[in-house]
Amino acid sequence: MKYQAEIQTNSNHYSVNTGLGILNEELCSALNELKADTVFLIVDERVWSLHKERITHSLRQEGIHFSHYLVPVGENSKSAEQWIRCLDFLLSGGIRRNTPVIVIGGGVTGDLGAFAASAVLRGVPLIQVPTTLLAMVDSAIGGKTGINHQTGKNLIGTFYQPYRVISDLGFLETLPDHEWVNGLSEILKYGAIEDAGIFSDSEIFLQGNPGAADRPRLAELIHKCASIKAHIVSSDEHESGRRAYLNYGHTFAHALEKETGYERMSHGEAVYLGMLAAQTLSELVLNSDFQDLTPLAPFRKLYRFRVTENELSSKRLLKYMYSDKKRTSESLRFVLLKEWQHPVISTVKDLNAVEHAWNEIFRHLKMIP
Ligand SMILES: NC(=O)c1ccc[n+]([C@@H]2O[C@H](COP(=O)([O-])OP(=O)(O)OC[C@H]3O[C@@H](n4cnc5c(N)ncnc54)[C@H](O)[C@@H]3O)[C@@H](O)[C@H]2O)c1
């Protein structure tokens, strides 16, 4: 079974294809359309070691010449140094304007490799092959590329839409446990801002990571999320409006990640907590009435937080929120919910309310799962 979501932006029209075992066929069809006889692969090092056969099979079969660059595992690879190395690899390999770059990995390799593809020769065809759940539902879709700077995450980059996104669930067979939770948080985010059905669809995660029997439901769920993102990006490519809703919970999350040095707390854990805090803030600022209920609650048991409240400084967390790049003035801006699936962008001046929202996060860090 293969699912297809379409993205139509000013710069490009492309599809996001999701299914089990689709890489071969999809890659061949894209490379045929592009009339490619040579490709450059930018691949996450771990993914290469685990899935080399899967990746190279169709290229060998079609007689396509390829060379590869391996991206070291971890967020540190989203650096200027790695970006230059990618460019060196492409340019010294003789890349031409019509030579495709295929980027294979999670969000780190995806953001880095896509940024290199957008910059080299002012842009070459890019095929995204996401291999983590997070990348399949979020980062590989929508054309945000980039690297980090010492002053903050994702501060350097471009908007550059791929030629195609190919999400083959076969890659997920080797995904480590904690990476499933990372992706789950972004899935739940779509439930909060857009489609309540996603909460019940996500129950497949409650009995452990989706296994072989759950793959059809998982494929459908990934496609549902990809379709929501595709729809939002199609109407607001450069985040001048509703694309910002995709940052629900992220203003808190980015501050938490920064405070914990991007190590002690994963992005997914931070986003889960951030969404709970954003719910509290919505109640205080917008008088939203959720009747103390959250559809996020059943998933709480899947998160194992390693950070305790007394390791965090409220003062620094607030400072980090002010330095978030989404800020446009001296006030803090949040994505809040008028009600479930009704997000709004809200400027918040009431720091007491923000403090209360942080308390909701601290309460969860104290709880035994
Ligand atoms: N561009 C966007 O719109 C966007 C959106 C959300 C997040 N992001 C970015 O995405 C990044 C996080 O992405 P991520 O969570 O995918 O992290 P990641 O790329 O670091 O991958 C997580 C880990 O999983 C491993 N891995 C990847 N695929 C695997 C597989 N199939 N089997 C076994 N191991 C595998 C990687 O080696 C890595 O250790 C962050 O840098 C974030 O800023 C970008």
pLDDT tens for each residue of 44-87: 999 999 999 999 998 999 899 999 999 999 999 999 999 999 99
Contact 164, 15 (CB under 8 A): yes
Element (H, E) at 254: helix 250-259
Alpha carbon 233 to its chain centroid, in Å, reads 14
In a domain, 75, yes or no: yes
Taking the C-alpha atoms of residue 144 and residue 158, their distance in angstroms, rounded to an integer, is 6
Name the DSSP class of 78.
S
In a domain, 328, yes or no: yes
Return the pLDDT at 262.
85
Q: How confident is the model at residue 368 (pLDDT cuts 50, 70, 90)?
A: low
* Placement of tokens 């996500």 in the chain: 202
The interaxial angle of helices 314-322 and 351-366, nearest 10 deg, is 120
Q: How confident is the model at residue 291 (pLDDT cuts 50, 70, 90)?
A: confident
Name the DSSP class of 144.
B
Is residue 330 scored above 80 in pLDDT?
no
Q: Are residues 29 and 103 in the same domain?
A: yes
The enclosing domain of 340 has a CATH number of 1.20.1090.10
Contact 132, 183 (CB under 8 A): yes
Q: Are residues 264 and 325 in the same domain?
A: yes
Buried b (16+ CB within 10 A) or exposed e, 137-146: bbbbbbbbbb
The rounded mean pLDDT for the chain is 94
Nearest to 232 by CA among 141, 163, 324, 167: 141
Mean pLDDT of 21-27: 96
Q: Which domain holds residue 184?
A: 2-235
- Kindly report, residue by residue over 145-163, the tens digit of the pLDDT: 999 998 888 999 999 999 9
Count other C-beta atoms under 10 Å from residue 28's C-beta: 15
pTM tops 0.85, yes or no: yes
Q: How confident is the model at residue 367 (pLDDT cuts 50, 70, 90)?
A: confident
Q: How confident is the model at residue 91 (pLDDT cuts 50, 70, 90)?
A: very high
Q: Are residues 253 and 212 in the same domain?
A: no
**25: CA distance to ligand 1 center in Å?**
24
* Placement of tokens 């938490």 in the chain: 256
SS3 call for 236: coil
In a domain, 241, yes or no: no
Please tell me the total count of domains within the chain: 2
In a domain, 340, yes or no: yes
Question: Using a 6 Å cutoff on CB, does residue 46 contact ligand 1?
Answer: yes
**245: CA distance to ligand 1 center in Å?**
21
- Residue with CA at minimum distance from ligand 1 atom 22: 106
Is residue 331 scored above 90 in pLDDT?
no
Question: Using a 6 Å cutoff on CB, does residue 114 contact ligand 1?
Answer: no
Q: Are residues 100 and 59 in the same domain?
A: yes
The enclosing domain of 88 has a CATH number of 3.40.50.1970
In a domain, 240, yes or no: no
Element (H, E) at 160: none
- Kindly report, residue by residue over 131-148, the tens digit of the pLDDT: 999 999 999 999 999 999
Q: Are residues 200 and 284 in the same domain?
A: no
**349: CA distance to ligand 1 center in Å?**
34
Question: Using a 6 Å cutoff on CB, does residue 174 contact ligand 1?
Answer: yes
- Catalytic residues, by residue number, are 122, 144, 186, 229, 239, 243, 247, 250, 254, 267
Mean pLDDT of 7-29: 96
Tell me which of 96-100, 175-179, 271-275 is least confident.
Answer: 175-179
Contact 341, 348 (CB under 8 A): no
Return the pLDDT at 325.
58
Question: Using a 6 Å cutoff on CB, does residue 109 contact ligand 1?
Answer: yes
Name the DSSP class of 295.
T
Contact 105, 71 (CB under 8 A): yes
Q: Are residues 105 and 167 in the same domain?
A: yes
Is residue 25 scored above 70 in pLDDT?
yes
Q: Are residues 265 and 335 in the same domain?
A: yes
| 301 torsion bin: left (phi>0), alpha (psi -120 to 50), beta (else) | alpha
Encoded tokens for 76: 């540190």
Taking the C-alpha atoms of residue 99 and residue 95, their distance in angstroms, rounded to an integer, is 6
Mean pLDDT of 335-352: 95
In a domain, 209, yes or no: yes
Mean pLDDT of 83-100: 98
